[in-house]
């Protein structure tokens, strides 16, 4: 079984059982539902205990359970701008605000990057009379570039 095949199977079983990603995350891990969902979609790994919980929740075999605990090959999007409208909006945000974020981070922290490895993210629904809003909060460790 390939990781892509496992992801398709997970989506199918999730749908057949009428579960949400949040439901699954609660059954699998006490950690972030974002990280758990990313793992189920092939972008993060689960601990062996979490992989066993996922296999139990989704009726997966031992091979699938092992794959869930392996370090994945990350980067699920094809090259070029994404075509899915929701994902494209994130690409658009980076195109429009990327240089601003870079300038402000460097001004505040110096020459370096915000880690996507030592990283936390939360997502919330923010009620608004004009239509609910999506609130994402991202927090990444600052890693300065070293000079030799």
Domains recognised in the chain with CATH numbers: 3-68 (1.10.260.40), 85-144 (3.30.1160.10)
Q: Is 34 exposed, middle or buried (0-12, 13-18, 19+ CB in 10 A)?
A: middle
Sorting pLDDT into bands at 50, 70 and 90, what band is 77? confident
Question: d(Cα 39, Cα 144) in Å, to the nearest integer?
Answer: 28
Sorting pLDDT into bands at 50, 70 and 90, what band is 31? confident
Q: Is 140 exposed, middle or buried (0-12, 13-18, 19+ CB in 10 A)?
A: middle
Question: d(Cα 11, Cα 130) in Å, to the nearest integer?
Answer: 32
What's the whole-model pTM score? 0.82
Q: Residue 78: its pLDDT value, please? A: 80
Residues noted as catalytic: 89, 92, 115
Q: Residue 113: its pLDDT value, please? A: 95
Q: What angle do CA 120, 123, 125 make, to 5 degrees?
A: 160
Q: Residue 76: its pLDDT value, please? A: 80
């Amino acid at each position: 079984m390939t990781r892509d095949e496992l992801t398709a199977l997970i989506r199918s079983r999730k749908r057949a059982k009428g579960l949400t990603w949040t439901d699954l995350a609660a059954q699998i891990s006490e950690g972030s539902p974002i990280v758990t969902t990313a793992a189920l979609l092939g972008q993060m790994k689960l601990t062996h205990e979490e992989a066993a919980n996922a296999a139990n929740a989704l009726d997966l075999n031992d091979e699938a359970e092992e794959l869930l605990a392996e370090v994945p090959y990350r980067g699920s999007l094809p090259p070029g701008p994404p075509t899915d409208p929701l994902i494209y909006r994130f690409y658009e945000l980076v195109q429009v605000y990327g240089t601003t974020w870079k300038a402000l981070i460097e001004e505040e922290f110096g020459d370096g990057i915000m880690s996507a490895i030592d990283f936390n993210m939360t997502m919330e629904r923010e009620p608004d009379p004009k239509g609910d809003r999506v609130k994402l909060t991202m927090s990444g460790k600052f890693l300065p570039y070293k000079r030799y």
